Structure 1
């Protein structure tokens, strides 16, 4: 797959190069095997293991924040009893898929992509790779598929707390959890109230002296069983694949209904969620701590399986404090209210830092691509960028739902190109001014709001948007015309002689 940096490939090393061996990359590899079996492909992964997010994050209790019947792939049933799965179970699922389908031998581990260059005259990408020793090599492909996720693997969001250098204990970010951390009988403060914090708190509470979740703003929580009784019943009476398909359909519909109801009747959803928390906490319920200033699904709902977070509070192993941080000091955190939180360990679960295209410098005919100047096309390609696709999952549903339909759609495009004898597919947008721009990231989550300036653009109508409606997207991506008058098909010769709209866009 790789060659020395000063040599050229003829014509390409593989038809499709997949960047990332996490959920998105593995899903694309299997879809290629199923729908475009005559296309050669390879995966490059910067880490030593597959799994992406599930290999990187090692904090206590790491688990899915979606049910595995929708976070699992459409082609591979989830067979475990728990539908809210822990990290090791998810890794086992991914590793089994890779090994059973002989994909592992196509993965090049410890290879970081440091550049991707499209050459219109040759109709191919040249991708520059760097290994752990700093050596570089290149590989070429007709199509570049980015499954690199949506956040910065190297640098989490830094909340820049005043006085952190004065703290005498340990400060840990969940993205870089030390393997040897011993928190037995330690006082722990977890800063944050999102999915990561609400997972860590009950998990650390078993051994820690006490765990305090310090939040600036409350979050909406949704309590559900870790086991799906309906799914497990179906698995006993129906074939595995059929039971999985039915449960997946049920969960997709329930997710969609829940999201729509939150948007249409937010007060009723607030009452429902609050009622469940009151029932879980009883006389420990504090309205101020569990009543956010925003509506449900203005930010992603946080899942609490089996009410474990609230059970830790009832057992006096955990508590919630709603306040603002004045500063860190030697023994903990001084709050603006005057209260002081003593701590041996502070966990800064303050969020992720988003990254577009895995921070890879992408060039088209030598011109560096500024993603904020390009519009999404069909939720996975970009205006005037040829033979390129990427996965950015749903904000209001499971990541894999998007990964599945994007992979199948790209296979449809590849098959159309083969059938028509073309080698280049470009979402052509001659005049961006003809589109009405719209911010479809209408979530108030900090990690979204902090990153809007680097995100690709969205229009108010399809196909130029990253839609947030899986049911509509699935129909459109699966059955919509590939040659829709927007996606332009050509060959290297034609592209080389008339790239006017591409040059104008750059």
Structure 2
């Protein structure tokens, strides 16, 4: 229940206690809230959200055509399945789904909006986290920001790993000379008018694959995708209902789809990693079959890496490939020599004229939402920590961090993490422990590995900010939902964890 802090000079009317605090009200935060309500009904909890509404990524991203980059049968919640027939969904429909979920399960009333966590300090003498909160502020029309102190036994980070305040900066020579409009998808201008104009989209990832057909449908004059290196792209049917589904009960159909949309990507991933040559041939032939006749597959659809060394891009009903049949969509594989007032000069000598340049070059990654984390006032260097089951960090007691899968839907990893946290808290309560902290042995640290199997530029740039993984035991990075879920629900709670009872 809510109350006042009583120790260390923090006994102020703005000091509030909870058993559990969740940071972020996106997919991860809402999922974690449901699992807490379901399994820990006696625990007091709240969600602290820095923005004015729930949704996280889906609240902020407003670029043309914004949609999921994985299927909603697994990106959606297991406890409240996605019922629509289309597996790839628009950002707007995902927001409605999240709002409906929060309303239906009473989660909405637990969210405290415009509550930005500035810092979090674990206090050993109280066996709680002390959070410094900034509430409101001039930017949201609520006047001056005010500060508050929140205390919690458990802290769950549902902040994802993207920086919501600043995009990844890319060195584009001469970009300051451009006289037209420049837009980054993360902060798309609401008043941007691209109808009838010449647009160059710089990038080759999921965002570019989304924007290009949306611009064509929106009446762009000419849109050119400029890529330094291609990506692997697959078309996915938006309505693949089997004949028997209309005869089966809805609950069975929804479970079947979630199972199949979990299984097939895992099999595809294993196929790509185990047989890269065959996978490359399959994916290039798939692209060729979707493109207009005589469209050059090489070099535009011939990546310089093996499948799934970078994230696979999906396009619903092949809309990205179909856009090239419009006559208004084009693709160029080259590097930028210089940006000039009215376009981009390429290394090949070609010039792309442009009224608008879209820099879809990736997102800036940030861990723990950029919150300053400390223990008894001593700052913790997060990149030096190791991840236990990809869900907790060494040196940080009673802190759960939610990370999804790199090679599957985010929510699959989010849900296994939330189930694990609930299990840990139950174990703590049943045995009257006051804290649990991951501790890695020297032998396990002998072989440190990357937390991500991908070599995308934005991932490689962020590895110095990310915690570490090891090659064995609960320190291994996650790459398989079934294995991860078993570990969360049935795995041991002793290996790599130190449990303590401390009198306060």
CA, structure 1 residues 57+464, in 2 after alignment: closer, same or farther (shift >3 Å)? same
Aligned residue runs from structure 1 range 7-406, under 5 A? 7=11, 13-133=17-137, 134-206=145-217, 207-230=219-242, 234=245, 236-281=246-291, 282-406=293-417
Give the equivalent residue in structure 2 for 1:501. none
Deviation for aligned residue 1:11: 10
Aligned residues: 491
Give the equivalent residue in structure 2 for 1:504. none
Answer yes or no: is the 8 Å Cα contact 1:428–1:488 preserved in 2: yes
Deviation for aligned residue 1:444: 1.3
CA, structure 1 residues 2+58, in 2 after alignment: closer, same or farther (shift >3 Å)? farther
Deviation for aligned residue 1:240: 2.8
Provide the alpha-carbon RMSD of the alignment.
Answer: 1.9
Partners in 2 of 1:446 and 1:192 — Cα distance?
11
Deviation for aligned residue 1:131: 2.3
CA, structure 1 residues 434+204, in 2 after alignment: closer, same or farther (shift >3 Å)? closer
Answer yes or no: is the 8 Å Cα contact 2:444–2:470 preserved in 1: no
Partners in 2 of 1:217 and 1:2 — Cα distance?
56
Partners in 2 of 1:421 and 1:472 — Cα distance?
29
Q: TM-score, normalization: structure 2?
A: 0.94
Deviation for aligned residue 1:218: 0.7
Partners in 1 of 2:497 and 2:467 — Cα distance?
18
Answer yes or no: is the 8 Å Cα contact 1:425–1:488 preserved in 2: yes
Deviation for aligned residue 1:227: 2.2
Deviation for aligned residue 1:6: 4.4
Deviations 1:23-77 (A, max 9, x none): 0000000000111111111001111010000001000101111111111111111
SS of equivalent to 1:418: helix
Deviation for aligned residue 1:368: 0.6
Give the equivalent residue in structure 2 for 1:490. 500
CA, structure 1 residues 485+298, in 2 after alignment: closer, same or farther (shift >3 Å)? closer
SS of equivalent to 1:122: coil
Answer yes or no: is the 8 Å Cα contact 2:3–2:15 preserved in 1: no
Partners in 2 of 1:222 and 1:11 — Cα distance?
51
Deviation for aligned residue 1:241: 2.7
Partners in 1 of 2:213 and 2:331 — Cα distance?
12
Deviation for aligned residue 1:433: 6.9
More displaced stretch, 49-58 vs 155-164: 155-164
CA, structure 1 residues 55+89, in 2 after alignment: closer, same or farther (shift >3 Å)? same
Partners in 2 of 1:9 and 1:17 — Cα distance?
19
Answer yes or no: is the 8 Å Cα contact 1:215–1:322 preserved in 2: yes
Deviation for aligned residue 1:299: 0.4
More displaced stretch, 302-311 vs 128-137: 128-137
Unaligned 5+ segments in structure 1 are: 497-506
Unaligned 5+ segments in structure 2 are: 138-144
Partners in 1 of 2:3 and 2:321 — Cα distance?
52
Deviations 1:148-195 (A, max 9, x none): 011111111111212222111100000001111111101010000100
From 487, 492, 498, give the equivalent of 1:481.
Answer: 492
Q: TM-score, normalization: structure 1?
A: 0.94
Partners in 2 of 1:311 and 1:31 — Cα distance?
41
Partners in 2 of 1:305 and 1:113 — Cα distance?
37
CA, structure 1 residues 237+38, in 2 after alignment: closer, same or farther (shift >3 Å)? farther
